[in-house]
Amino acid sequence: MADPATGPVGAATARAGLGRPPWWLVLPAIAGAALAVLPLGYLLARTFEAGPNRILEILGRPGTLPLIGRSLGLAAVVTGLCLFIGIGLAALVTRTAMPARRSIAVLAPLPLAIPSYVAAFAWVAAVPWARGFMGAVIVLTACTYPYVYLPVMAAMRSVDPAQEEVSRSLGRSAWRTFWTVTARQVWPAAASGGLLVALYTLSDFGAVSILQYDVFTRVIHTSYTATFDRTPAAVLSTLLVVITVIIAVGERWTRRPVEHTRIGGGVSRRPELQRLGPLGPVASGLAGVLLVVALAFPVASLLYWFATGLSAGIDTERLLTSTGTTLFLAVLGAVATMALAIPIGVLVARHRSRSSAVIETATWAGHALPGIVVALALVFFGVRVAQPIYQQTPLLLIAYAVLFLPAGIGAVRGAVAMSPPRIEEVARSLGSAPLTVLRRVTIPLAAPGIAAGTALVMLTIMKELPATLLLRPTGANTLATSLWTETGVAAYAAAAPYALALVLLAVLPTLWLMRTQGRFTATEDL
């Protein structure tokens, strides 16, 4: 009998998860998981070869405990602010008649196109005092709140407005209805977005380095580059992985099962927008301030320094070369990452088991590591094992796949899970081979989600800095590395063209991501 909570589709999905997965799906999934744990294996080997006494000595240093406090404090503050901003802004856009809500809905995700180190450069170049903890909070919050806003906005559109109407008819205020009905149902989406924000904050290297705030990534990078003894950095990196695992487990614990139901025939309809009265302009003004801080100010700062640098001239050839290299690596990296993500995503969505769960969890190993640690692990691998591809494009593509594989898997898994498995069962009953069903049914149905995952991976690759710095082919420069070189000597005018070009280039996958998720069409329903 079908589970009443899941319905026929859920029952079909459950049956689909009981079948034995084909070998051509399992082997690529295992290969992807093995590639993801490669840097972690190197890290653990370098850590444990030091011995327990050495490990305890490093962990017991006077600076270790304050380092943990600074890192966790920054992650906690940024995550809390992003949850508040993301949930609040999504609620204003989808549930109220706030003035200019359609424009705000379109502009709010665009800070994703601004890398955190570009935003940090813009702030430091314009406001020199914007360093340390406060500067890091402002920059990282402005750059990462869309990770919460986007999934919460999508979840709010799927919440049945009839449930809110029933709550209001029972005498509850709009505020109480939001917190007891709407917020409860969108919390899993908010929690997942908050986890991404926390992981991003803990692994960020460029912004905290420019803003001169010592957290794990900056101290690890200094330890790796300032001394030949890499054991302290390996121990601190292992500690960072442990903290990341604890945060991920805690996030899963907070996502209590929430029953999503729809009253009636299940036809989606628009909710009744709440009138804010005199508070409407205030809400729009606060949203406008957010967009100024997160979007307008960094862009204006870049334009100012770009105009300042025009008098001294721009190295056009280097700018065009860096732009071409950035786009070339982003496309190749996205293709390589999604090629590994598709079999894992399909395996997890259609063949749920303890083994598939282990494979999916393993892919988060590289994502939990800072880019600098992944890069140095692959340097070791390239020098010792894969010398022909050391400082070549294939090794850099492996780094991108390790770092951003979970983003691709999440997109594929969600898209496949939402497509009815009965269609695949019908195709198999008509004589189609499993591989043919995957190629002609499963993948086409999941194409929008795969496209969104590809755009997200391209976006993150364009913005990636530490792995590109260490693993790029000899003589190759991307917009990120060229910006980093000029920023390192405080040449803000010279760095501005690369920062501006990087933002403009990153806007393309951002707009595609918004389009594939129905961002523009959704605003028409508000």
Q: Helix H segments across 351-392? A: 354-367, 371-384
Rg (CA), the chain: 24
pLDDT at 17: 45
User: What are phi and psi for residue 96, nearest 5 degrees?
Assistant: -130, 165
CA–CA separation, 472 vs 397, rounded Å?
A: 9
Give the separation between CA 16 and CA 20, rounded to whole angstroms: 9
Q: Which whole-number Å values give the CA distances from 213 to 217, 258, 374, in the listed order?
A: 10, 39, 21
In the numeric block, the tokens 């990462």 are attached to: 144
8-state DSSP, 275: P
Express each pLDDT in 204-234 by its tens digit.
888 888 888 988 888 887 777 776 667 787 7
Q: Report the pLDDT value the prediction gives residue 396, as an integer from 0 to 100.
A: 92
Domains of the chain are: 15-40+312-488 (1.10.3720.10), 63-257+278-311 (1.10.3720.10)
User: What is the structure's pLDDT at 470?
Assistant: 83
pTM more than 0.85: no
Q: Helices 183-203 & 216-226, crossing angle to 10 degrees?
A: 20
Is 294:145 a contact under the CB 8 Å cutoff?
yes
> Of 71, 196, 199, 213, which Cα lies nearest the Cα of 131?
213
Buried b (16+ CB within 10 A) or exposed e, 440-475: ebbbebbebbbbbbbbbbbbbbbbbbbbbbbbbeee
pLDDT of 261: 46
Alpha helices in 204-315 (DSSP H): 206-210, 216-226, 231-254, 279-291, 297-310
**Burial classification of residue 172, based on how many CB atoms lie within 10 Å of its CB (0-12 exposed, 13-18 middle, 19 or more buried):** middle
SS3 at position 353: coil
Q: What is the pLDDT of residues 284-324, one digit of tens each?
A: 889 889 999 998 898 888 888 888 877 667 778 888 999 99
Q: Which of 412, 328, 326 is nearest to 363 (CA)?
A: 412
Give the pLDDT confidence score for residue 163 in this predicted structure: 61
> Tokens for 176?
């109480």
Q: What is the pLDDT of residue 256?
A: 53
Amino acid at 375: A
DSSP at 230: -
The list of the chain residues with pLDDT below 50 reads: 1-18, 257-267, 519-526
